Chains A and B, each alone.
Chain A
Amino acid sequence: MADTGHVATDGAPRRDFLMLATGAFAAVGVGAIAWPFIASLQPARDTLALATTDVDLAPITEGQAVTVMWRGKPVFVRSRTPKEIEEARAVAVNALPDPATDQSRVQREQWLVLIGICTHLGCVPSGQRATDTRGEYGGWFCPCHGSHYDTSGRIRKGPAPRNLDVPQYAFTSDTKIRIG
């Protein structure tokens, strides 16, 4: 560096701008470094691709329910009795904590498909087997903190804020559904 002797006179303003620009650039760089790391924590492509589960409905008799796995979560598939359907549809929708009609939650009225995870803190509610306690409304009961769900999977009583979620699914034939 031969010419260091004579740049100091007008240095101050340029130095400030330089510092600012360099600082900004460096800050952007450091920020950008964080992105790949955070992105790597998000679900990987193979995880996202494993999106569908097929369920054969034929062996499920009326009043029975099965639990299948979809994306690592339990999914409840319940064949409802006419009485259960009637109960679910007789409710005054506006009085519910999370108003939703039964019709909006099923594709075919006999078949109720729900993600079996309590919307409170993620426990799996009981009510799938005939011997299980089904809560005050005949649907599901979450033993962790006492949430009661009805025969449409709607929250009726207890701390859970929302109805049980309905996953995306489609009937691929009369006796088969594909979840996801």
Chain B
Amino acid sequence: MSIGLHNSEFKNPVVRWIDQRLPVFTMMQKEYGTFPTPKNFNYFWNFGALAMVTLMIMIATGIFLSMHYAAHTGLAFDSVERIMRDVNFGWLIRYVHMNGASMFFIVVYIHIFRGMYYGSYKAPRELLWILGVVIFLLMMATAFMGYVLPWGQMSFWGATVITNLFSAFPVVGNYIVELLWGGFSVDNPTLNRFFSLHYLLPFVILGVVFLHVAALHITGSNNPLGVEPKGPQDTLPFHPYYTAKDSVGLVVYFIVFAVLVFFAPNYLGHPDNYIPANPLVTPPHIVPEWYFLPYYAILRAVPDKLGGVLLMFGSILIWFVLPWLDRSPVRSMRFRPLARLFFLLWTANFLVLLWVGAKPAEGTYVLIAQIATAYYFAYFLVILPLLAKFERPLPLPESISRPVLGGGPLPMGAAAKPMEKA
């Protein structure tokens, strides 16, 4: 780009004046207006936009909640109930924030599922995928610290158990835990720093989301066929086609969200968190929020403290190297019958972990958790690498438009060869 005023195409004088000096309008037009997007998205491709909107909702409600919340062990519980009772629409803002965390994880889990199913992590989108995993880790940290803030029994004991995970590390473990606590147990300093970080991290997420979207707009979107667009006949401008389609998904999403907030606001929560924190009494059955249950199940499946902790962290860290574990050149599992089977099994297995994570760690539940944990890792470490070598994918369509225009699969030979370099 040359120095000097940007050559703006906008006619409106005010827009043009700004755009010449800071081409934000040109950028928006390029990235969200004319941006060429594969024409064959299904509704799974709504979930990126839904996640973005949910992040905005969480930040907005969170900022307003923080205006009334008191981050002090003596005041936190009552200040949250004061929000529910005395602050105008406080109950609404708090329930949206509380259930918004659950909705955020539902949306992001589906988003991740879509990325795994359609091979969106494969070249050239590895970095896009890695940034996504970073976002997910930040989300987990944010959600965990947010759950501590109401200072109920589950807040306190969840914080105690999770921070104690770090004590599993040899030598530095106890030092790390005291560093996290700012004392010798979860107490006021812990609550204060968690509040501070809970406020900070969403903005870090926002920054990484920006990078995630920037990377997406370099490579372009993947699509259900996993075949790169071959030309203009395969794409549509983002606006109005996908703005309209995302809007449909968004409104339907809001309906689900509203049902939860207005008619079952505490359904996904735990009653114990309406009991003020008591450092002397542990609830008989500690469970994390539902979205952490799979990892909790993995943690408890291992009869060794350090091993459990490492495996639990490993269960997410392994996503970072997924693009290199799955070397199959075919992206979409539509054309990988075996991988598809194993992946759907993996998804069901993930749900089994979620279910078993809520059960007491005894008897058969432990065995189920162990088998499910084994499959969780085997899928990544054994099945995917082997499939890349031995699986014979179905013939790939020549382009996005071809199956639409021609209908039906192409003759063999036309595309049994691996996907082209994008």
Q: Is the CB of A36 within 8 A of B93?
A: yes
In whole Å, how far is A28's beta carbon from the nearest beta carbon of chain B?
13
* Separation of A37 and B66 alpha carbons in the complex (Å): 12
Interface string of A1-43 (1 = CB under 8 A from B): 0000000000000000000000000100000000111011110
Pick from B86, B92, B93: contact of A44, CB under 8 Å: B86
Cβ-closest chain A residue relative to B90:
A40
Q: Is the CB of B67 within 8 A of A39?
A: no
Given A36-B92, A36-B93, CB of A45 within 8 Å of CB of B86: yes
Does B367 belong to the interface (CB within 8 Å)? Answer: no
Cβ-closest chain A residue relative to B240:
A19
Q: Is the CB of B89 within 8 A of A39?
A: yes
Does A46 belong to the interface (CB within 8 Å)? Answer: yes
In whole Å, how far is A78's beta carbon from the nearest beta carbon of chain B?
34
In whole Å, how far is A35's beta carbon from the nearest beta carbon of chain B?
8
Give B72-129 interface residues, CB cut-off 8 Å to A. Answer: 82, 85-90, 92-93
Does B60 belong to the interface (CB within 8 Å)? Answer: yes
Chain B residues within an 8 Å CB radius of A46: 82, 85-86
Q: Is the CB of A37 within 8 A of B93?
A: yes
Q: Is the CB of B64 within 8 A of A37?
A: yes
Number of interface residues of B (CB under 8 A): 14
In whole Å, how far is B224's beta carbon from the nearest beta carbon of chain A?
15
Chain A residues within an 8 Å CB radius of B82: 44, 46
* Separation of A41 and B92 alpha carbons in the complex (Å): 13
* Separation of A34 and B81 alpha carbons in the complex (Å): 22
* Separation of A44 and B88 alpha carbons in the complex (Å): 6
Chain B residues within an 8 Å CB radius of A36: 88-89, 92-93
Number of interface residues of A (CB under 8 A): 12
Chain A residues within an 8 Å CB radius of B87: 40, 44-45
Chain B residues within an 8 Å CB radius of A26: 247
In whole Å, how far is A30's beta carbon from the nearest beta carbon of chain B?
12
* Separation of A47 and B82 alpha carbons in the complex (Å): 11
Pick from A35, A41, A45, A47: contact of B67, CB under 8 Å: A41
Cβ-closest chain B residue relative to A34:
B60
In whole Å, how far is B21's beta carbon from the nearest beta carbon of chain A?
29
Cβ-closest chain A residue relative to B60:
A37
Interface string of B182-216 (1 = CB under 8 A from A): 00000000000000000000000000000000000
Chain B residues within an 8 Å CB radius of A47: 86
Most interface-central of B60, B85, B87, B88 (chain A CB within 10 A): B88
* Separation of A26 and B251 alpha carbons in the complex (Å): 10
Cβ-closest chain A residue relative to B254:
A29
In whole Å, how far is B70's beta carbon from the nearest beta carbon of chain A?
13
Q: Is the CB of A44 within 8 A of B67?
A: no
Q: Is the CB of B86 within 8 A of A40?
A: no
In whole Å, how far is A75's beta carbon from the nearest beta carbon of chain B?
24
Cβ-closest chain A residue relative to B61:
A37
Cβ-closest chain A residue relative to B63:
A37
Chain A residues within an 8 Å CB radius of B89: 35-37, 39-40
* Separation of A155 and B90 alpha carbons in the complex (Å): 41
Cβ-closest chain A residue relative to B89:
A36
In whole Å, how far is B63's beta carbon from the nearest beta carbon of chain A?
9
Chain A residues within an 8 Å CB radius of B60: 37
Q: Is the CB of A42 within 8 A of B88?
A: yes
Chain B residues within an 8 Å CB radius of A41: 64, 67
* Separation of A10 and B87 alpha carbons in the complex (Å): 51
* Separation of A36 and B87 alpha carbons in the complex (Å): 10
Q: Is the CB of B90 within 8 A of A44?
A: yes
Chain A residues within an 8 Å CB radius of B67: 40-41
In whole Å, how far is A169's beta carbon from the nearest beta carbon of chain B?
25
* Separation of A12 and B88 alpha carbons in the complex (Å): 45
* Separation of A44 and B93 alpha carbons in the complex (Å): 14
Interface string of A96-118 (1 = CB under 8 A from B): 00000000000000000000000
List 28 interface pairs A-B (beta carbons < 8 Å), by A numbering. A26-B247, A35-B89, A36-B88, A36-B89, A36-B93, A37-B60, A37-B64, A37-B93, A39-B89, A40-B67, A40-B68, A40-B89, A40-B90, A40-B93, A41-B64, A42-B88, A44-B82, A44-B86, A44-B88, A44-B90, A45-B85, A45-B86, A45-B87, A45-B88, A46-B82, A46-B85, A46-B86, A47-B86
Q: Which of A's residues lie within 8 Å of B, judged by CB?
A: 26, 35-37, 39-42, 44-47
13 additional contacts (CB under 8 A) given A26-B247, A44-B82: A36-B92, A36-B93, A37-B60, A37-B64, A37-B89, A40-B89, A41-B67, A44-B86, A45-B85, A45-B86, A46-B82, A46-B85, A46-B86
Question: Which A-B residue pairs are the 8 nearest by beta carbons?
Answer: A36-B89, A39-B88, A46-B86, A45-B86, A44-B86, A44-B87, A39-B89, A36-B92
